[in-house]
Amino acid sequence: MKHYTPTNPERWTGRASDQAQYLHEKVALCNLEKEANFPDADQTFAILGYACDEGVGRNQGRTGAVKGPDAIRQQLAKMSNHLGEEIALLDVGTIGCPDGNMEEAQSSLAKMVSQLLAKNTFPILLGGGHDIAYGHYNGIKKFLAAKGKKTTLGIINFDAHFDLRSNENGNNSGTPFYQISRDCKRDNTKFKYICLGIRKDANIKALFDTAKELNVSYIEQQHFNLHHLSNTKNKLERFIRGVDYIYTTIDLDGFASAYAPGVSAASPMGFSPDMVLECLENIIDSKKMISLDIAEMNPKYDPDHQTAKLAASLIHFVMHQ
């Protein structure tokens, strides 16, 4: 399978116990190039890496996110396991981009996401640049189309950036949601997108104009905090009511650099983990979330693995709700 690499078991190590007390003792590694029998479980989480920062480089960002997936795995492995025996945790490997062909990597990612959803798993994708979103979205779209029923997919993005840049001069980590909007227009489907944590100092005026033109909902960073939690939840719940399924994407560069220094575009003027956890709880409670990804993990700039630990904690929270 092009672009695909099974996960090295050394990425899943930690303190040993005799009762699967830690996630490295719970996880099962699957090589999808071989016959992979998925467990018969009440619920299955499938971890899939996207080792690509080609889009970050094209977007003039600082590269290094190609090593993000394994950095997150290594921190998640050490965390306590509270999952019941009826819940399965799989690591199904990584889609890479060794030749710089990001578009092919995105296509491979989409194919695998669709396959994972068809096997009744909940995909958790680890990036990698935020160009992960275009491949991820297309995999979900393909899966929903195969169901034969017209549905509305909503995208919830925790991010400082709209990532609505035009792809007129090529695709990159700043264009995925613009590309999705163009595809929706072509397919005559609704583009339902909300972005939480937008910063004016990180988005030029033209991007706000694009967001308005595309009817994108957003909450600016200065209002995305616990002091405004009630208003945020009301807006989020209205968005959730208007869609059938939810794809959630968390760009780690939306967090303040005090929490997430190891990203492609760090800033002290970001949001806090507490605010994201509050919103995630609402999203999960809706029973509409179909898939999740974590983007822009850059271990090259991550002292004491702080950002990787944050990413792993977010995943741990989602799995244990």
Q: Is 285 annotated as a binding residue?
A: no
Residue type, 197: G
Query: Which of 35-44, 142-151, 234-243 is modeled with the greatest confidence?
Result: 234-243
Give residue 107's pLDDT.
97
Averaged confidence pLDDT in the chain: 97
Percent of the chain with pLDDT over 90: 94
Specify the CATH number for the domain of residue 79.
Answer: 3.40.800.10
Band (148; pLDDT cuts 50, 70, 90): confident
**Distance of CA 32 to CAs 8, 95, 112, 158, 252, Å?**
13, 11, 9, 30, 28
Domain carrying residue 175: 4-319
Q: Is 130 annotated as a binding residue?
A: yes
Q: Is 159 annotated as a binding residue?
A: yes
> Are 320 and 122 within 8 A, CB to CB?
no
Q: Is 223 annotated as a binding residue?
A: no
Grouping H, G, I as helix, E, B as strand and the rest as coil, residue 42 is coil
Number of structural domains found in the chain: 1
Which residues 6+ apart lie within 8 Å of 5 measured at CB?
A: 51, 93, 94, 96
Percent of the chain with pLDDT over 70: 100
In DSSP terms, 89 is beta-bridged to 45
Report how far apart the first and last C-alpha atoms of the chain are (Å, whole number): 34
pLDDT tens, position by position, 78-100:
999 999 999 999 999 999 999 99
**Distance of CA 167 to CAs 65, 218, 253, 294, Å?**
21, 21, 21, 22
Give residue 187's pLDDT.
95
- Which of these, 176, 305, 179, 166, lies nearest to 251 by C-alpha position? 176
- Per the listing, tokens 């899943």 go with 12
- Asked if residue 276 has pLDDT above 90, the reply is yes
C-alpha 177/C-alpha 55 separation (Å) is: 13
289-295/122-127 β-pairing: parallel
pTM more than 0.85: yes
**Distance of CA 26 to CAs 9, 38, 71, 81, 84, Å?**
13, 14, 18, 7, 10
C-alpha 134/C-alpha 204 separation (Å) is: 22
- Asked if residue 267 has pLDDT above 90, the reply is yes
Mean pLDDT (whole number) for 176-188: 97
- Which of these, 131, 135, 114, lies nearest to 123 by C-alpha position? 114
- Which of these, 95, 97, 81, 15, lies nearest to 48 by C-alpha position? 95
Least confidently predicted of 9-13, 36-40, 48-52, 153-157: 36-40
- Asked if residue 1 has pLDDT above 80, the reply is no
Band (135; pLDDT cuts 50, 70, 90): very high
Tokens for 182, please give them.
Answer: 């163009």
